[in-house]
Structure 1
């Protein structure tokens, strides 16, 4: 299936707005100012259930009718949210079975948001009613262009232990396995006398001694939660398709225990994301060379994999925080604009700031929007005005173009979910993904972040990339192994890391030499292995080739000691110390027109640098542009092959860019004598001069 994208002819700017929070006397001025700023879209309604249905079966839409009419008078397009993330007090009081619960059964009470469970029949019933009532009432309003389902599925919590969830899990397991014998085999219940003899014995993980549930049950729990979200969302999506077929449907987020690819493919017109890059800066990092807010581009890459062109439903517009948690400082001058273009570079064609004005009451009184409480102009408003002017100038050139990359880091939901519980492979993936992403960023090599869940058996989607990195695919099915083998046969270069292929789809360890179904492809087996932890130190790597191995590197976190099984295998590096000194650590085997690489450790920055040298990968702009490490370089490409090269300076000081004179900056900076100076947090978009004339 083709990935679903938002379809716009120009970049559009929007803002989240809550008419119920403000006096109607403010609406006119607010909407006038928005239009002056080139804001053309607002999102409303996602938290207003208590206003839409103040008591059971009584529906009142007048306030939002007036808000929609006012917005329409100023040519503002409206995204309407279904309000199911915040059930009203009458609902949770009268029907407590709709509430979510902790693993010990304690109910999460009214007073927050997202305190419901997806599987309550009563909650599904009420959600269907409010969705249908809203759809019927608003379907013909000329201001509305689309709907957002709920808000941030699985935010705040991504586990659910209400009684309705246990019941639904039992039915899910019946559908999945058919018989208890099949379930017992899949969950390995022969261990510790866990065998189930009646379906009523089946529950989601509950508190256990040492807080250690059956790992195969824990993996299925995540699959069940994802399916529950999709079933819950389907109720609303089906009603909206039926009643308001001329409106598009999306939802926002990128949270745990949800297959967002399946959600989008089955229910949405495109995916939306909420971008708060400052989350990457507020936690201390042992890495002095951390990417900080630039690392948020990895999240945006994951979003782009779902929808190549997408919507940012919430773009950070100020300092963020709740009264009792989350406290982020103010973006520095220029950073808000920088983060906006970070989203645009990675595929956003519609960007809505969160929010128009900072709330004066409630939990989010410190989650600042464009406007402060006093409603006077401030520097954030001025930055948004600048972005609005720039979108008006360049928007039709950028919208619809797509991010261009020749290398991809592979991921998949099964390993992510299994790795949450499994400390023998889970921590490796984030470590290695970060190392690859950082070194590619610093070398100005654009990279995609690709979920194999969206690939299916379509090898053509993989062959778009010269190189694929699949860091630690502990769970690796025979079908996926066959797909990857075909990719290599047809010319691709594929790089595996330690702990590859030793588990099947149920999380069982295979009774065959590691790396299981790709052992033959790689031409090696794993003879021995060890965690690198505590007093066990990471050995250095001794490179058996001088080509490109310019940095000292250590084999970190886990070591697979490799045994060469195929005489055509090249050993590119060996372990230099410990009892396995001299044994292979990095191998390469040619297969068909391509190559399969196996690295027996977690990837470090230095190891990735050496691998990039061995692969002879270089930046696509290296022949005509030189930029310092603090600048992110990315390319959005049009259907005709023309390119827009984004330069984003994440540094607190200016950056000097060397560039040939036949390029110009769409945002107006001059290129003098082959150089362009980007100010702190500055942005440039370069095109060939002939393309901009």
Structure 2
């Protein structure tokens, strides 16, 4: 069972990221006053400033941030302090090269970028613990400091680690988990291609091979090891900070990134979770905005839904405020007028109660000279700043909405075993990406809000029961505990929808020698007779459901009923398995389970949502065009409908019941125009 989060913001508020080390001291006071005038009351500092406190090994000075905090205190500005471990200083990496991460071929990543260290170097752990203790011991008592960010974007840039320290730590991890080489060889299938180990010194993290293809079961275990290493590094810092933090001050980190169990990190090390939201990535010059068929920046609603799974009432530590880009990559256009506000409100609509913009002013030096802030190099007021002022006026009118829950009509189950297995297994990855994208698209385009729901062996029924429908798209890896939980969910009245390849593997990623859906076969009353990718020569393979032809995606399991009470809802309409079951339904207890043989497409998902009675749940209250997203938050039995227009053109929405526009406090009903990139917040 998940632990409740330890901290929530009491009001919705705005902040920004500020780097006093980048600017002359003469700018500090004016910057903070301009922030306050725009409605910004909180800043994040320090996460890349190790040398400002320890310029040489063992030499500590606090003058720089003491001076800045004095200015912040006079301005009444609240401060979130970052620990500086994401960028070890030059003196450290030069003297202790063992702290550096490596490429798979063993070449070290050198000083000059960021996140060039590894979590498992004993030297780096010792020096990191010391600098965190110095930061916290000196600054935590300051009245302006209200919270701490650990490191910066853990597992960003790189989420794999190949240093000598990681090799040593990985061996110890495997020894602790498996005990003997005989058990490791057996459970991870090392007999394949003569990979069995006879000495622990023969075991390595994945290394350069032909096609960079390593044993998939060992690689899956390695990703679990990477997660353990990152969580341990985060928890070490959190434990230190807790010894010094004032009552009520929070500990967070900003994410989320791969090969990291963010749910465990939240539960074990953090008080609240924060995310870095950059929807403008959708418009980078290397992207194809046409390919996503209008969902572009709405993909960040998908990301925010995952964040909400980790922490229901989260914050945004870095919110898009200008064009993104380094001098080496990620070139992108500037946000259009209205998009900065739209994207901030997108975060709030999905559950963010604190939104901090990256950054206050565009940096004039370094790699991120094109990662634009609220202000540009010239430091003049501009339209982005005016948008922040206008946004703050809206936030002030809705500030008491903090803590409101997000209302989802259905859930999508996710677990780290399958997410990481999809990183190992390209068959799995292709299915996973296709189905998740299409389920999200169906949710968005049909205005049926969704949640991601974490599934683990610790998940309990109470965490699932609020969802009338749960999708488990491609649960290749299943455990008996999770299968039993899903059976309980169905028996007690839930509707479970599973897709192709369900139950193919056990926890090490080994294929089981029983028909799919494996451990769920008793629940579904079906088995998979045969399976295949849909090839280019096959064209689109559809299923016939109530006279409608619905695309079954890129992969098809051909189903076979094994229980008489299984109902065939749809059959394949082409290919060599034409006429075979594609979608079945079985009633179990008070609920039902649908077994879909395909990968999910938006049309098929919409049909399933319609069939289960949850499609477009607010259609009696509001009618929206596809260009708009609907999010619903609830507090004190009042519903707040966020309508976000991602189009440059004005859209017409129709209110079928009288509502209150919380910005104007006016009563509204009937047709309502929503300008391009506009947002409406309506109280129902």
Question: Are residue 644 (structure 1) and residue 635 (structure 2) matched?
Answer: no
> Partners of 1:588 and 1:334 in 2: how far apart?
46
Query: C-alpha displacement at 1:475, in angstroms?
Result: 0.6
Query: C-alpha displacement at 1:154, in angstroms?
Result: 0.7
Look up the match of 1:34. 35
Look up the match of 1:615. 612
Look up the match of 1:304. 308
Look up the match of 1:431. 434
> Partners of 1:620 and 1:606 in 2: how far apart?
17
> Partners of 1:272 and 1:308 in 2: how far apart?
11
Query: C-alpha displacement at 1:334, in angstroms?
Result: 0.4
Look up the match of 2:423. 420
Query: C-alpha displacement at 1:673, in angstroms?
Result: 5.6
Look up the match of 2:674. 678
Question: Are residue 411 (structure 1) and residue 414 (structure 2) matched?
Answer: yes
Look up the match of 1:56. 57
Query: C-alpha displacement at 1:661, in angstroms?
Result: 5.5
> Partners of 1:245 and 1:669 in 2: how far apart?
39
> Partners of 1:587 and 1:463 in 2: how far apart?
22
Q: Secondary structure at the match of 1:371?
A: coil
Look up the match of 2:533. 531
> Partners of 1:174 and 1:444 in 2: how far apart?
50
Do 2:327 and 2:369's aligned partners in 1 also have CA atoms closer than 8 Å?
A: yes
| Cα deviation code 1:382-412 (max 9, x no counterpart) | 000111122222201x101110112011111
Query: Which of 581, 584, 591 is 2:581 aligned to?
Result: 584
Question: Are residue 135 (structure 1) and residue 136 (structure 2) matched?
Answer: yes
1:376-455 → structure 2 map (5 Å cutoff):
376-396=380-400, 398-453=401-456
> Partners of 2:522 and 2:557 in 1: how far apart?
16
Do 2:461 and 2:489's aligned partners in 1 also have CA atoms closer than 8 Å?
A: yes
Query: C-alpha displacement at 1:674, in angstroms?
Result: 1.6
Look up the match of 2:215. 214
Look up the match of 2:113. 112
Gaps of 5+ in 1: 689-693
Question: Are residue 666 (structure 1) and residue 662 (structure 2) matched?
Answer: yes
Do 1:77 and 1:144's aligned partners in 2 also have CA atoms closer than 8 Å?
A: yes
Query: C-alpha displacement at 1:662, in angstroms?
Result: 2.4
Look up the match of 1:176. 177
| Cα deviation code 1:200-221 (max 9, x no counterpart) | 1111111112321000011011
Look up the match of 1:315. 319
Flag the 1:672–1:120 CA change in 2: closer, same or farther, 3 A. Answer: closer
Do 1:5 and 1:308's aligned partners in 2 also have CA atoms closer than 8 Å?
A: no
Question: Are residue 360 (structure 1) and residue 360 (structure 2) matched?
Answer: no
Query: Which of 456, 460, 470 is 2:462 aligned to?
Result: 460
Q: Secondary structure at the match of 1:348?
A: coil
Do 1:6 and 1:310's aligned partners in 2 also have CA atoms closer than 8 Å?
A: no
| Cα deviation code 1:504-538 (max 9, x no counterpart) | 00111111111100011011000111111343434
Deviates more, 1:123-132 or 1:289-298: 289-298
> Partners of 2:168 and 2:540 in 1: how far apart?
47
Flag the 1:474–1:69 CA change in 2: closer, same or farther, 3 A. Answer: same
> Partners of 2:263 and 2:307 in 1: how far apart?
9
> Partners of 1:236 and 1:281 in 2: how far apart?
36
Do 1:648 and 1:683's aligned partners in 2 also have CA atoms closer than 8 Å?
A: yes
> Partners of 2:459 and 2:643 in 1: how far apart?
35
Look up the match of 1:691. none
Query: C-alpha displacement at 1:664, in angstroms?
Result: 1.4
Query: C-alpha displacement at 1:672, in angstroms?
Result: 5.7
Deviates more, 1:112-121 or 1:64-73: 64-73
Do 1:586 and 1:599's aligned partners in 2 also have CA atoms closer than 8 Å?
A: yes
1:213-612 → structure 2 map (5 Å cutoff):
213-246=214-247, 247-282=249-284, 283-284=287-288, 287=291, 289-396=293-400, 398-453=401-456, 456-543=458-545, 545-546=546-547, 549=548, 552-612=549-609
Q: Secondary structure at the match of 1:521?
A: helix
Flag the 1:539–1:661 CA change in 2: closer, same or farther, 3 A. Answer: closer
| Cα deviation code 1:409-462 (max 9, x no counterpart) | 111111111111212222111211111111111111110011213x72411110
> Partners of 1:535 and 1:68 in 2: how far apart?
66
> Partners of 1:389 and 1:186 in 2: how far apart?
59
> Partners of 2:49 and 2:328 in 1: how far apart?
23
> Partners of 1:490 and 1:302 in 2: how far apart?
26
Do 1:472 and 1:498's aligned partners in 2 also have CA atoms closer than 8 Å?
A: yes
Do 1:5 and 1:307's aligned partners in 2 also have CA atoms closer than 8 Å?
A: no
Do 1:635 and 1:643's aligned partners in 2 also have CA atoms closer than 8 Å?
A: yes
Q: Secondary structure at the match of 2:353?
A: strand
Query: C-alpha displacement at 1:245, in angstroms?
Result: 4.9
List structure 1 segments (4+ residues) > 6 angstroms apart after TM superposition. none
Do 2:659 and 2:668's aligned partners in 1 also have CA atoms closer than 8 Å?
A: no
| Cα deviation code 1:163-197 (max 9, x no counterpart) | 00000000000111111111111210111111111
Q: Secondary structure at the match of 1:494?
A: strand
Do 1:3 and 1:306's aligned partners in 2 also have CA atoms closer than 8 Å?
A: no
> Partners of 1:205 and 1:559 in 2: how far apart?
32
Deviates more, 1:216-225 or 1:606-615: 606-615
Flag the 1:646–1:672 CA change in 2: closer, same or farther, 3 A. Answer: closer
Look up the match of 2:168. 167
> Partners of 2:435 and 2:283 in 1: how far apart?
20
TM-score by length of 1: 0.96
> Partners of 1:232 and 1:179 in 2: how far apart?
27
> Partners of 2:677 and 2:627 in 1: how far apart?
10
> Partners of 2:668 and 2:399 in 1: how far apart?
25
Q: Secondary structure at the match of 1:553?
A: strand
Question: Are residue 70 (structure 1) and residue 71 (structure 2) matched?
Answer: yes
> Partners of 2:178 and 2:289 in 1: how far apart?
44
> Partners of 1:351 and 1:82 in 2: how far apart?
20
Gaps of 5+ in 2: none
Do 1:637 and 1:643's aligned partners in 2 also have CA atoms closer than 8 Å?
A: yes
Query: C-alpha displacement at 1:359, in angstroms?
Result: 0.2
Query: C-alpha displacement at 1:126, in angstroms?
Result: 0.4
> Partners of 1:612 and 1:404 in 2: how far apart?
16
Q: Secondary structure at the match of 1:261?
A: helix
Do 1:37 and 1:389's aligned partners in 2 also have CA atoms closer than 8 Å?
A: no
Question: Are residue 150 (structure 1) and residue 126 (structure 2) matched?
Answer: no
Aligned-residue Cα RMSD (Å) equals 1.4
Look up the match of 1:194. 195
| Cα deviation code 1:472-495 (max 9, x no counterpart) | 011111111100000000000000
Flag the 1:216–1:183 CA change in 2: closer, same or farther, 3 A. Answer: same
Query: C-alpha displacement at 1:285, in angstroms?
Result: 5.2
Q: Secondary structure at the match of 1:520?
A: helix
Q: Secondary structure at the match of 1:72?
A: helix
Deviates more, 1:618-627 or 1:661-670: 661-670
Question: Are residue 14 (structure 1) and residue 11 (structure 2) matched?
Answer: no
Query: C-alpha displacement at 1:598, in angstroms?
Result: 0.8
Q: Secondary structure at the match of 2:420?
A: helix
Query: C-alpha displacement at 1:227, in angstroms?
Result: 0.2
Do 1:6 and 1:311's aligned partners in 2 also have CA atoms closer than 8 Å?
A: no
| Cα deviation code 1:344-391 (max 9, x no counterpart) | 011110110000000000000000000011111110000001111222
> Partners of 1:281 and 1:248 in 2: how far apart?
34
Q: Secondary structure at the match of 1:243?
A: coil
TM-score by length of 2: 0.97
